[in-house]
Amino acid sequence: MKKIYNLSMLLLAGAFALTSCSDDNESNPTLAQPTEFVLNQPAFNGPVDLLNSTAVALSWSQPRAYNDFDAPVVPTYTVQISPTASFNKEFDANAEDNTGADFISLDETYSSGKNVEIVTETLDRALMQLMAWEEQTVPAALPLAVRVKSAVRDASFKEYGVIYSNVITLNTVPYYIELKSAEPEIWWLIGGDICDGSWGGDYGKCVIPMQTINGAEYDKKTGQGEIQWIGYLGGNGFKLRGSMDDNWATQWGQGDAFGEYKKNDGGSGNITVPEPGLYTVSLNTATDALSVEKYEGSAPLFSGMAISGSFNDWGDTEMSPCHTYAGAENHDWYIVYDLAAGDEIKIKQTGSWDFNKGGSFANTGDNLYVYGVDGGSNIVMPESGKYLILFNDITGYIRFMKQ
């Protein structure tokens, strides 16, 4: 059974006080902040085994802050760790160069110190990020310096009145974890303009994913950034969903008119283009900026698309068109197929090699994608499995979703 370690931690923060000004308006408050708080050394003596324990339980007192109307100003607490106890340069997951970084902040923040549990895997992952250990270089034991940052945040998350606790030492036993950057955040297209127009949940037949963009950057922690889809919209309405299994909790819809969009509003309407045609749907998941604009490029129509490769003697295995509702112009294709590790594959026009796409995988994992290149190299499958293969003949984007 994994252990939960109890750290009795007392944060003694001076209260925020709001005092009257002596100038023209005596009702204007002035913010006074605490200048220090104390973090107590853990009571237990043994090391924290980060692999074979569940969490480190933290607790601290909640400081009160008042203004003239007795309304509290609640600080935000962040736990920071350092193998060197120097806390000189903070690790930044999005920075090109973290040379010299000697401490890292854990992602989760707290407004209360009651019954807080820090997952030991979270501690270990943070150490792996900071130290970039190889499997053979993970130390058998590590004294880990811990402190807590307190700050007041405004609506834009800008911090004011930052103060730090004293530093304590927590003896740990770290372990090796293979780190990966977060996969790009993907939203899904669904509705009367999408696939069969049924608003159903079957991938390929009823719903398709938006696409990452070659050369775009995605946040290493959150996977947020610019995604897009280019295809035909018939004016029957559609929406974007953040997940297909969250009961529509995350969605994008239309406001009072086309061009006005609402996020996570269950009362929003379907996004309905003013006239049928080819459109680019773009969403920046970091800034929540959605646009639906006419596509100005060329887009030939194909009567059929196929996968071809070493698994079928480079013949044609037909894909199915995604957009099959009445009047639709299809540019998305799908197939579910068993592939073996090492299989070579291309996507091509049925009956001809005049149009074919190849390339290499831009990532690894259960959701693989390729930015298809005209006449590109054969795509080599890294792992055996049954895959849903999706292809857009305008962008050349190929996605492999392991089933």
CB 242 within 8 A of CB 250: yes
Most confident region among 27-31, 52-56, 61-65, 229-233 by mean pLDDT: 229-233
Residue with tokens 């109890």: 6
The letter for the amino acid at 293 is E
pLDDT score recorded for residue 294: 98
Q: How far apart are CA 110 and CA 94, in angstroms?
A: 23
12 pLDDT band, cuts 50/70/90, is very low
pLDDT score recorded for residue 3: 64
Q: Is 57 exposed, middle or buried, given 0-12, 13-18 or 19+ CB atoms closer than 10 A? A: middle
Q: What confidence tens digit (pLDDT) does each residue in 88-131 have?
A: 999 998 777 899 999 999 988 888 767 778 899 999 999 999 99
* pLDDT reading at 25 higher than 60: no
Contacts of 152 by beta carbon, 8 Å cutoff, 6+ apart: 16, 33, 73, 74, 75, 76, 159, 160, 161
* pLDDT reading at 71 higher than 60: no
Q: How far apart are CA 144 and CA 128, in angstroms?
A: 13
More reliable by pLDDT, 28 or 69: 28
| Dihedral (Cα; 61, 65, 69, 70), 10-degree rounding | 20
Rounded average pLDDT over 57-75: 57
76's enclosing H/E stretch is strand 76-82
Share of the chain above pLDDT 90, in %: 68
Most confident region among 61-70, 96-105, 260-269 by mean pLDDT: 260-269
The phi, psi pair for 124, rounded to 5°, reads -65, -40
- Strands 320-321 and 379-380, how do they pair? unpaired
Closest CA to 251 of 332, 189, 200: 189
pLDDT score recorded for residue 150: 87
Rounded average pLDDT over 183-199: 96
CB 17 within 8 A of CB 32: yes
72 pLDDT band, cuts 50/70/90, is low
* pLDDT reading at 365 higher than 90: no
Q: Where are the alpha helices (DSSP H) in 154-278?
A: none
Most confident region among 35-44, 175-184, 344-353 by mean pLDDT: 344-353
* pLDDT reading at 59 higher than 80: no
* pLDDT reading at 229 higher than 50: yes
pTM to 2 decimals? 0.67
Q: What confidence tens digit (pLDDT) does each residue in 129-145 have?
A: 999 899 999 999 999 99
pLDDT score recorded for residue 364: 65
* pLDDT reading at 67 higher than 90: no
Q: How far apart are CA 165 and CA 13, in angstroms?
A: 9
- Name the 3-class secondary structure at 251: strand
* pLDDT reading at 36 higher than 90: no
Q: How far apart are CA 356 and CA 393, in angstroms?
A: 10
DSSP summary character for residue 346: E
- Mean pLDDT of all residues belonging to the chain: 87
How many helices (H) and strands (E) in the chain?
Answer: 1, 32
Rounded average pLDDT over 268-291: 97
pLDDT score recorded for residue 10: 33
13 pLDDT band, cuts 50/70/90, is very low
* pLDDT reading at 68 higher than 70: no
| Dihedral (Cα; 209, 214, 216, 222), 10-degree rounding | 40
Rounded average pLDDT over 13-40: 51
Q: Is 285 exposed, middle or buried, given 0-12, 13-18 or 19+ CB atoms closer than 10 A? A: buried
pLDDT score recorded for residue 314: 98
- Strands 305-309 and 344-349, how do they pair? antiparallel
